[in-house]
Structure 1
Amino acid sequence: MTSVGALLDRLQALHSRTEETPLFNPVFQLSLDLSRDLESGRLTLGDCAALIGELECAALERRADRLHRLVEPSEPEANLAALAQCTHADEFARFRAAWEVPQLHAVFTAHPTFLLAPEETEAVAARAADGSGNACVTCPERPKITLAYEHAEAMKAIANAQGARDRIVGRLLEIARERWPGEWHELAPLPFRFATWVGYDMDGRTDIKWFHSIGFRLAEKAERLQRYVASLRDIDAAHPLLGELGPAADYAADRAADFAADLTDPAALSVAANRLTANDPRKCLSLAPFIDELEAEAREAEPERAIALKTLAAAMRADGLGMGWIHFRVNAKQLHNAIRRRLDPKGELDLASKGAIVHLRRAIASVKPLRSNFAALAIESSTAIRQFLAMAQILQHIDGDAPIRMLVAECEDPATMLAALYFARLFGIEDKVDISPLFETESALEHGGRFLDELLAETEYQDYAKVRGRVAIQTGFSDAGRFVGQIPASLAIERLQGRLSKAMADNGLSDVAALIFDTHGESMGRGAHPNGMQDRLEWALSPWARRRFARAGIRLEPEVSFQGGDGYLWFATPDLALATLTRIAELHPAETDKDVPADLFYRRTDLSLDFYRAIKDHQRQHLESRTYSRAITAFGLGMLNPTGSRVSRRQSDLSADREMSLRQIRAIPHNAILQQLGYPVNVIAGVGSAAEGNYEELAALLAESPRGRQLMRLVRAADALASVKTVAAFGELFNSAYWASRPYRGTESHLARPCEALAEYLVKDDRNGVFRRLASRLRVDALKLHRLYELIPPEIVREDREDVRRMIGVLQALRLALFQHMFICAVSIPAFSRANDISRDDVLEMVFTLRIEEALEQLRRTFPTEFPRLRDFSVSEPSDYPDSGEEGYGALRSRFIDPIEGAYGLSLRITRAIANLFGAHG
């Protein structure tokens, strides 16, 4: 079995045996076949690498083809033509109303989702853009993913998005000129706005210094000014405004270089700060004069030049003096610590109490703004206050026009928002900062309605919202989708959004906009619907929620995230970016028809609410179960590739790893592990059980309701790639009886000793039973789900569904064979005495939990191949000792230690291939 075709055929043949033996596991049997070949020498790690390489190519191509399906047509001409078809306004006023406010805010976020190497990204994007081409590339060296790398990738994606938006704006201006030749100059299109939090998100991070954020913002300013200069030069190489914009770009680049240095030394910071704050004719803080001049010139120019000038003015209006708007983020606890230090140094105030609200209300009303400078920022120890100080310096010395978002994670009390408002007023920036609570924990979603009612009833907050012109909130699918499941999370978030519309209307805020930022991630594992752009947008902000705002007369500003290497793929080339934005523009996500009849899903709440609660309860049972927790953490995070600069887990010692809590793993890697184990539990689990006892009535509801069908499209997409047999197969790795029986009857007598050692060691291990119990629970639920499927015809039938499932099955079997090879090699290494508080059993446990780098480091220290020899010394006295050869441990390394490293490296390539077949990492 040295070809992919042979492996696929073998797996299909093994699957047929489940009819006669239901407990038979074809995935594990194929892994045993491969393991036997590998241990006998009939198959080498090199052969495995070739097989994996072929499957990697196929997975990349399928990922590219999926993206192409989601954005097609991708030809620029077709998309520019499509824009004319989605602008049906018959009056200029309606046309302006549709296109002078953003249809969508797109936020380019990071977190650990940079799975693809740059060469792979380029190949996938090229194939996705034209629907053909070769996506197979070899990437022996993968870049280290630093914060600077993530920021550079975000800027590339935003630059392509800006270029695509310029083309859309130009097309809208052409359409307006053709239809309303006497009025079109009044049009100021702003169809999309872009933002990023890469470099500004401090929640859960200690590696981002305050001067990094200032440096990033200056670098973005320099890059954006250079892009404005390039656009203006294309219009007119001798344009007089180039004399101001060009020097401003150079000045910003110089200041960015100043803040790119290590500024921990006060002297170095003083020099950089004084250069930035000094008066300089090149120091541009507002684009308003440039926008006015470009618009005025356009009125007198020929049509082609006028459109180009107005397009540049529109870009300036949208982005300001940066590549887009920016989002800072802190945690509620950080704000609590900061406000206590300021108003409650004795710690006597309960911030969740009514008394705290009264206290903060008075503090906000009486606070007097304070001046601040970079020295104050440098000496500040509080993370939250430091963020407000950084925002004040950015607004004062970098960009005075573009507002800044302050996202507050784990925000569950109105007092937290009032604390943020206090600091915004204290530093004189409340008119330029949008403070936004994040709702994503189960508690935040459950109590979010009460939170919004209380917050929006506060007079100080109402006044603030009217000054800003919007109420901003953030809803996230990361922790929500992990702890309550993706479907309950979507429904809970939807209800919270509906409560926001009511709270705004009840408190006299219908005349300000509702900005709702949905950080829904990029895969079925994190909350983004995989079926298409319409489902993707509606999953985060449903038509029902949109109608609630429309009926209350509240303007909606929808905002979504495009996250990391996967999210940036949508904007990886100019053509892909244009196709992506055109698909969004066609859907008009900021608008809705308020008179559409209510979806049956919301009318039959007796069914839909029970459905929601039953799935949520089922998901909670998994999360509270030691079985689920132990299975998900059985391999730690060793099954995943490093995919971001933010750490994926909190630190723990070796013994803690054996009982790792799910809360030690962040949301993205948690969901990625589910994909790698073969079953997206947080998407699928509970749907079948929720239907039990009421299949026909619930099936009728889900089939008739557009929202219900959307829910089922997500479940089917995840289920099409899922395999309970694969989950069970991972448990067999820890089955003592399997290892004891493997060399039975002398079939593999050369493995008798390592198999016996593994069998003896694993007698006390619980992971085999854990995986079996989890697989049994998933199977029972899946049986009920498929009973529901029988009553709801599928809307989408993928012809290649079984091909993809078999490909994943082969990849899983290969990985299981590699893991068995690693186990056998590890247990074959001679015993050694405890060194550095690490024993041989500790090393074995490191291998079993895939802490391979640590295990190899310890083994190489224990069995060195570089050591002093007699010939290295110039001593005169002879010696007969040592009387053995000087080979050292070279043979041991080549037979056991190096193969562990090679097999693990191949297993991580399999991880990437499986993630590509799922469509994303995380």
Structure 2
Amino acid sequence: MPELQPLTFATLTHRLRELHQRTQETPLFNPVFQLAHDLSRELEAGEISLGDIASLIGELETRSLEARADRLCTLVKPQDTARRMEAFCKPSDGFEAFRDHWSHPQLHVVFTAHPTFLLTPEQTDAVAEAAGGGDPVPAETNAERPEITLQYEHTRAMRALAHAQDARDTINRSVLSCAASHWPDQWRSLDPLPFRFASWVGYDMDGRTDIKWYTSIAFRLSEKAQRLERYAAQLEEIDAGHALVATLRAAQVRAASSAEEFAGDLSDHADLSAAANRLTAEGDDKLLSLAPLVSQLEEEALAADAERAIALKTLASAMRADGLGMGHIHFRVNAKQLHNAIRSRIEGGADLDLGSKGAVGALRELVSNAQPLSANFASLAVESSTAVRQFLAMAQILKHVDADAPIRMLVAECEQPATVLSALYFAKLFGIDEKVDVSPLFETETALEHGGRFLDALLREEAYRDYARKRGRVAIQTGFSDAGRFVGQIPASLAIERLQGRLANAMAANDMTDVAALVFNTHGEGMGRGAHPASFKDRLEWPMSPWARRRFARAGIRLEPEASFQGGDGYMFFATPKLALATLSTIAELAPADTDPDVPTDLFYRRTDLSLDFYRAIKDHQQSHLESRTYSRAVTAFGLGLLNSTGSRVSRRQSDLSADRDMSLRQIRAIPHNAILQQLGYPVNLIAGLGSAAESNYEDIAELLRESPRGRQIMRYVRASNALASIKTVAAYGELFNSAYWASRPYRGTEEHLAQACETLAEYLIQDDRNGVFRRLASRLRVDALKLHRLFELVPDEDPHPEREQARRTIGVLQSLRLALFQHMFLKAVSVPAFSRANDISRRDVLEMVFTLRIDEALAQMRRAFPASFPMTQDFAMEEKAEYPRAGSEGYDAIRRDFIDPIEDSYALALRISTAIANQFGAHG
């Protein structure tokens, strides 16, 4: 057996490199699994310990955090912030051009909270500090993970928002100072608004039932209190004695008090009535609009000296942008929830096809005849419909928290105009249609395929056009979660940009060029969720391409681009004031809202005979994977056991043990699905299909990808993910379930101490399908990869990243370590002494829990079978003597020490490896 001591990253990478060379002699040889096997043999022989592995994992964790910090620094380049800020001052363009550029948002930034809180707070801070040019990542960071509750997510979102607000203020001050120095007679008419911010944390009801309606009210009130505190502090810095400071402070105290009340349990009618009455009561401290304060500050700025005027206008700009909250808010419901709510309003609605002409006609009449109804907090308390409750909550927020800031109503799985008309009806019914932007989400394959016709039909509806003109915009949302999972990331991006183009066409065709197009792209933060890893320019263009932007520009439609920054990954860009300013100044420099309509059309869109066939072929290849039992079984082979819990929303629906073998991909949400692909070693939904799609016409496709900016962007995306991918790793996971491997492992007298455990595993796994599943998947991926590399040879790498080879080696070592840990867990599990069935859970069930990484459940059953403490006869004050049971007859402590605890420790180390691998890929999911 090869000598692996000492156990260091250097020795393991050297060994892995040597093993890779053997694939030239034996193509089927698997270096990743071989290294795992060598490590496993040393671990089981006692030559290395779990403690040794833990020390190495600690080192690799630090390396992974450093890699993440380097990537973050590369994307936003904090060292260039000063240069970017200086470049914003362009007096040669003239004041009117300068004012026009800075008076509309370059991007609406939305802080969402999908399950991507991968790092601990300490790890996040360490990465952010290192990325900003501060201290390097320390050798050890606190890896103890906090419970990811909704409150935790909200707190982190507010922290990111605060840094974003401060960074925007810095940009606004710089812009105002530039204007003051170059246009002293005009600059006070400048009202900069380069960014708007929003959040849906605490308001997203799609896919969850754990958020009570008063929880959303409490969050909005706490955000109001926090923002008022920040406004007051900012004004105090300008003028501690300013009269408005007291106004802001009084309103802040009232909002904070109500926030605390609504954060409690308001299921008791009396408690709710008291809290609601205090919130709705009139009083001098009830501030519902900042408009009078903004006007006063602007008026004072006209007569103040330049320095004071800049400070006052910076504060007024912040108030104008955010209103009485940390940002605008996005509620989100599912189309089915709206359908259930509207059916009761239509005669015969229970059995009505809402996509039918009859239903649409009935909805037109409903919307036309809707008369606003007043509502109060009791109305909210008694409402049973989730969708209606959301509209009632919005109405109460607009009446009693912030009367100015509009609210977004995002509708998931929205695939027909009737759904939007239903939302308009409820908005009108509660008198909030002039303050709510209903935004259909296009994400599923059906929605993207038929979205163009949907938009044509929706914009032909007179009621919708009237509503959009009142709001001043048409709002839609496009998503890369389910699209990237069920269509593939590259086809999703191309389908989404076509949909965006169809929106521009539909608005022009229906005389809607006088309103803005607000396009919200929830493209996520991970390499596997639509966030391009190569550069921030690519990151902004991937979900909304220059071609799509030019479609709006050429139609004379003002575009309002909006993008999400998801959870712990996205908040990293705003983890410190320095990073927040670097991020926003980068976006401002790239100016995604401004487009030159006269740029020649990209070849990718001129040669649609090639590009459309290319797109369809990739999509077909991706869908063939998703329809394949092989792919589904491989992705779900370990359930969600490869992943840390990273969010408050449940990542999968509950299923019993017997259902795990037949788990559908639709039982796993998109982010965990993408994360599992990374953990298995090959992000299929990013890479697969590109090579096969080019097979029939390599030369022409290669020329298209070389000559087209969009084509080169696609290739940068694929190269970035392929550089970290390993088909050998995919195959290695299948070898864990190879009965022949376990039967052969103690061959010819080696590892005799494991002979019984290996025999048990071999016998158990004879009928297991996972070895064959992983082999078939790896074979299919390999064939496609051969074709991809043929395409790579024809399209030169214009953006080489030599550091990716180091990341690839690190991932290889991490994978081998985890495979060795899994072998250790399997061996320990089958070595646990037999125990009797209890509560329908048998020893075989517990083994299956271990093999599917339901470790917490397995450990609970084992500990129940072998308790650490139990009643003893000495505990009782009995006068009668007894010889039974004899003391010391139980050996459960040894069972725990030798079998149960090592399984727990190994799994904890395996999850730390998951974090390190995700960091090397750049994000979770």
Q: Given the alignment of the two structures, is residue 229 of structure 1 paired with residue 232 of structure 2, yes or no?
A: yes
**Residue in 1 aligned with 2:104?**
101
Task: Give CA-to-partner distance per residue, 1:62-88, whole Å, 9 cap, x none.
Answer: 10011001111346534432433xx47
Alignment map for 1:37-76 (pairs within 5 Å): 37-74=42-79
Of 581, 584, 589, which aligns to 2:584?
581
**Residue in 1 aligned with 2:861?**
858
Q: Given the alignment of the two structures, is residue 330 of structure 1 paired with residue 333 of structure 2, yes or no?
A: yes
Cα–Cα, structure 1 residues 874 and 453, in superposed 2: closer, same or farther, change >3 Å? same
Of 233, 249, 252, which aligns to 2:252?
249
Alignment map for 1:728-767 (pairs within 5 Å): 728-767=731-770
Alignment map for 1:408-557 (pairs within 5 Å): 408-557=411-560
Q: Given the alignment of the two structures, is residue 660 of structure 1 paired with residue 660 of structure 2, yes or no?
A: no
Deviation at 1:345, TM superposition (A): 5.8
- For 1:404 and 1:268, how far apart are their aligned partners in 2? 27
Q: Given the alignment of the two structures, is residue 16 of structure 1 paired with residue 46 of structure 2, yes or no?
A: no
- For 1:884 and 1:771, how far apart are their aligned partners in 2? 50
Which sits farther off after the overlay, 92-101 or 519-528? 92-101
Equivalent AA in structure 2 for residue 451 of structure 1: F
Q: Given the alignment of the two structures, is residue 174 of structure 1 paired with residue 170 of structure 2, yes or no?
A: no
**Residue in 2 aligned with 1:913?**
916
Q: Given the alignment of the two structures, is residue 183 of structure 1 paired with residue 186 of structure 2, yes or no?
A: yes
Q: Given the alignment of the two structures, is residue 834 of structure 1 paired with residue 837 of structure 2, yes or no?
A: yes
Task: Give CA-to-partner distance per residue, 1:192-219, whole Å, 9 cap, x none.
Answer: 0000000000001111000000000000
Gaps of 5+ in 1: none
Cα–Cα, structure 1 residues 75 and 887, in superposed 2: closer, same or farther, change >3 Å? farther
Q: Given the alignment of the two structures, is residue 802 of structure 1 paired with residue 805 of structure 2, yes or no?
A: yes
- For 1:382 and 1:89, how far apart are their aligned partners in 2? 57
Secondary structure at 1:570's aligned position in 2?
A: helix
- For 1:854 and 1:452, how far apart are their aligned partners in 2? 48
- For 1:804 and 1:105, how far apart are their aligned partners in 2? 33
**Identity %, equivalent residues:** 71
Gaps of 5+ in 2: none
Secondary structure at 1:837's aligned position in 2?
A: coil
Deviation at 1:841, TM superposition (A): 0.7
- For 1:650 and 1:182, how far apart are their aligned partners in 2? 63
Task: Give CA-to-partner distance per residue, 1:574-614, whole Å, 9 cap, x none.
Answer: 11000000110011100100000000000000100010000
Alignment map for 1:820-831 (pairs within 5 Å): 820-831=823-834
**Residue in 2 aligned with 1:721?**
724
**Residue in 1 aligned with 2:894?**
891
Deviation at 1:796, TM superposition (A): 1.4
Task: Give CA-to-partner distance per residue, 1:316-348, whole Å, 9 cap, x none.
Answer: 000000000000000000000000122246514
Secondary structure at 1:18's aligned position in 2?
A: helix
Cα–Cα, structure 1 residues 74 and 377, in superposed 2: closer, same or farther, change >3 Å? farther
Task: Give CA-to-partner distance per residue, 1:91-139, whole Å, 9 cap, x none.
Answer: 2221121111100000000010000000000000000001652244332
Deviation at 1:868, TM superposition (A): 1.3
The 8 Å contact of residues 123 and 137 in structure 1, kept in 2 or not, is answered as no
Alignment map for 1:256-655 (pairs within 5 Å): 256-344=259-347, 347-655=350-658
Alignment map for 1:112-127 (pairs within 5 Å): 112-127=115-130
- For 1:520 and 1:135, how far apart are their aligned partners in 2? 31
The 8 Å contact of residues 498 and 545 in structure 1, kept in 2 or not, is answered as yes
Secondary structure at 2:530's aligned position in 1?
A: coil
Cα–Cα, structure 1 residues 603 and 132, in superposed 2: closer, same or farther, change >3 Å? farther
Runs of 4+ in 1 over 6 A off after TM superposition: none
Deviation at 1:178, TM superposition (A): 1.8
Equivalent AA in structure 2 for residue 465 of structure 1: A
Secondary structure at 1:342's aligned position in 2?
A: coil
**Residue in 1 aligned with 2:695?**
692
Cα–Cα, structure 1 residues 890 and 344, in superposed 2: closer, same or farther, change >3 Å? farther
**Residue in 1 aligned with 2:157?**
154
Which sits farther off after the overlay, 1-10 or 31-40? 1-10
**Residue in 2 aligned with 1:5?**
10
The 8 Å contact of residues 75 and 130 in structure 1, kept in 2 or not, is answered as no
**Residue in 2 aligned with 1:77?**
82
- For 2:138 and 2:497, how far apart are their aligned partners in 1? 38
Cα–Cα, structure 1 residues 746 and 439, in superposed 2: closer, same or farther, change >3 Å? same
The 8 Å contact of residues 482 and 670 in structure 1, kept in 2 or not, is answered as yes
Deviation at 1:181, TM superposition (A): 1.4
Task: Give CA-to-partner distance per residue, 1:510-550, whole Å, 9 cap, x none.
Answer: 00000000000001111110111110010011000000000
**Residue in 1 aligned with 2:676?**
673
- For 2:91 and 2:632, how far apart are their aligned partners in 1? 53
- For 1:532 and 1:273, how far apart are their aligned partners in 2? 49
Secondary structure at 2:767's aligned position in 1?
A: coil
Secondary structure at 1:400's aligned position in 2?
A: coil
The 8 Å contact of residues 331 and 410 in structure 1, kept in 2 or not, is answered as yes
Secondary structure at 2:507's aligned position in 1?
A: helix
- For 1:604 and 1:76, how far apart are their aligned partners in 2? 39
The 8 Å contact of residues 91 and 182 in structure 2, kept in 1 or not, is answered as no
The 8 Å contact of residues 60 and 916 in structure 1, kept in 2 or not, is answered as yes
Secondary structure at 2:193's aligned position in 1?
A: coil
Deviation at 1:831, TM superposition (A): 1.6
Equivalent AA in structure 1 for residue 456 of structure 2: D
Deviation at 1:89, TM superposition (A): 6.0
Deviation at 1:884, TM superposition (A): 5.7
**Residue in 1 aligned with 2:883?**
880
- For 2:219 and 2:681, how far apart are their aligned partners in 1? 39
Cα–Cα, structure 1 residues 186 and 5, in superposed 2: closer, same or farther, change >3 Å? same
Task: Give CA-to-partner distance per residue, 1:410-441, whole Å, 9 cap, x none.
Answer: 00010000000000000000000000000000
The 8 Å contact of residues 465 and 512 in structure 1, kept in 2 or not, is answered as yes
- For 2:589 and 2:277, how far apart are their aligned partners in 1? 48
TM-score (ref. length: structure 2): 0.99
- For 1:553 and 1:135, how far apart are their aligned partners in 2? 52
The 8 Å contact of residues 724 and 808 in structure 2, kept in 1 or not, is answered as yes
- Number of residues paired by the alignment? 920
Deviation at 1:349, TM superposition (A): 2.1
The 8 Å contact of residues 115 and 649 in structure 2, kept in 1 or not, is answered as yes
- For 1:373 and 1:742, how far apart are their aligned partners in 2? 71
Which sits farther off after the overlay, 89-98 or 225-234? 89-98
**Residue in 1 aligned with 2:874?**
871
Q: Given the alignment of the two structures, is residue 704 of structure 1 paired with residue 670 of structure 2, yes or no?
A: no
Equivalent AA in structure 2 for residue 138 of structure 1: T
The 8 Å contact of residues 173 and 187 in structure 1, kept in 2 or not, is answered as yes
**Residue in 1 aligned with 2:847?**
844
- For 1:369 and 1:902, how far apart are their aligned partners in 2? 60
Equivalent AA in structure 2 for residue 13 of structure 1: E
The 8 Å contact of residues 686 and 718 in structure 2, kept in 1 or not, is answered as yes
- For 1:198 and 1:499, how far apart are their aligned partners in 2? 30
Task: Give CA-to-partner distance per residue, 1:373-424, whole Å, 9 cap, x none.
Answer: 0000011000000000000000000000000000000000100000000000
- For 2:87 and 2:30, how far apart are their aligned partners in 1? 50
Equivalent AA in structure 1 for residue 16 of structure 2: L
- For 2:144 and 2:53, how far apart are their aligned partners in 1? 19
